[in-house]
A and B are shown apart, each in its own frame.
Chain A
Amino acid sequence: KTQVEQSPQSLVVRQGENCVLQCNYSVTPDNHLRWFKQDTGKGLVSLTVLVDQKDKTSNGRYSATLDKDAKHSTLHITATLLDDTATYICVVGDRGSALGRLHFGAGTQLIVIP
């Protein structure tokens, strides 16, 4: 059974609009949650990592929240650009070290149109 569910599966927005991507998970324990961006035909690039019980991070136009009680995270992208077109992947780690397991969501495909 999939332990990390992302929604929506795909999303189309106009350049300049804001968007929100959702991640719900059932992984236990949930040590941390990371959001990755994957451009078409490329590898995954880390955007941010959330660690605390109720956490918020900000990285330029990207901001993220985590609520471990609800096992829910959001990724907000403000004032989208065409280069934001990519798949965004939510990953939950059950430990902080390499000994832990990473649980990957299937991703949200974001398409930004002019």
Chain B
Amino acid sequence: DMKVTQMPRYLIKRMGENVLLECGQDMSHETMYWYRQDPGLGLQLIYISYDVDSNSEGDIPKGYRVSRKKREHFSLILDSAKTNQTSVYFCASSVRDRGSQNTLYFGAGTRLSVL
């Protein structure tokens, strides 16, 4: 059963604290993503990783960094979290399907509140 697992599911932090969000996938997918989802907005891409140590900024990378030391794990790090980073964070991995389109498999999300 193909799965993307995110930990933790819920997290409350104080402004200025460091935050580590973990993501794992058991499908050996090369490409992994971190998105954030805010009310009334579409998902926004923070970072994309094409494989181990091959990471690229997405549309909103400021205030975030990532780490991918193993293909199956992709971490999102917030150094000194800010209140505007309160959001739901989704990790995804991808594989090609019909017509060579990239199908994304999403985790269940991490709801982060920064107080």
Contact = CB atoms under 8 A, between A and B. Distances in A.
Nearest to B50: A98
A45 B101 contact: no
Given A2-B42, A44-B106, A96-B102, A49 B90 contact: no
A39 B45 CA distance: 20
Given A2-B42, A106-B42, A46 B99 contact: no
Interface string B21-32: 000000000110
B101 A98 contact: no
B106 A43 contact: yes
A49 B97 contact: yes
A76 interface: no
Nearest to B40: A106
Contact of B90 (A2, A44, A46, A103): A44
Interface residues of B, number: 27
Contact of A51 (B30, B99, B103, B104): B99
Nearest to B49: A98
Contacts of A101: 45
A43 B109 CA distance: 6
Nearest to B56: A99
Given A41-B108, A98-B31, A106 B41 contact: yes
Nearest to B42: A104
B100 interface: yes
B27 to A, nearest CB: 14
Identify the interface centre among B97, B104, B107: most chain A CB within 10 Å of its CB: B104
A46 to B, nearest CB: 6
Interface of A: 2, 4, 31-32, 34, 41-46, 49, 51, 89, 91, 93, 96-98, 100-107
Closest 9 pairs between A and B when the two form their complex, measured CB to CB: A104-B42, A43-B106, A98-B31, A104-B43, A51-B99, A44-B106, A32-B101, A96-B100, A43-B108
